Amino acid sequence: MSQELTEKLQTQIQTALEEVIDPELGIDIVNLGLVYEVDLSEEGVCEVQMTLTTIGCPLADVIINDVKRALLKIDQIKEVKVELVWYPAWDPSRMSRYARIALGVKL
């Protein structure tokens, strides 16, 4: 895959993930700092390592399904695997400046 195509695909993936909104907080998962790693294989399998703000999040399935739905809209992605990871633990310092302002969080 060419460097130009790779960069375009990375932008598409980032944009798609920014469309996934945490239903409780109303902010996207990228700005919340929930996405830790994204890998895309040559076969079109996209693996996402992410976390949630709390381990017992009752909306985990909703968020995971939204991630899959958003990424599968990208032509080069044929399958999405989401792995929830708990290390490093999420904390508000992982949020973008935008998310901290929107939620009134001061660090």
- CATH number for the domain harbouring residue 41: 3.30.300.130
Q: How many domains does the chain have?
A: 1
Host domain of residue 36:
1-103
The rounded mean pLDDT for the chain is 94
Please report the pLDDT score of residue 93 as a whole number. 94
Assess contact for 34 and 51: CB atoms under 8 A: yes
Please report the pLDDT score of residue 1 as a whole number. 62
The pTM score is: 0.92
State how far the Cα of 31 lies from the Cα of 22, in Å rounded to an integer. 10
Residue percentage of the chain with pLDDT more than 70? 99
**23, amino acid identity:** P
79 Cβ contact partners less than 8 Å away, ≥ 6 residues apart: 44, 45, 46
Q: What does the pLDDT look like over 20-42, one tens digit per residue?
A: 999 999 999 999 999 999 999 98
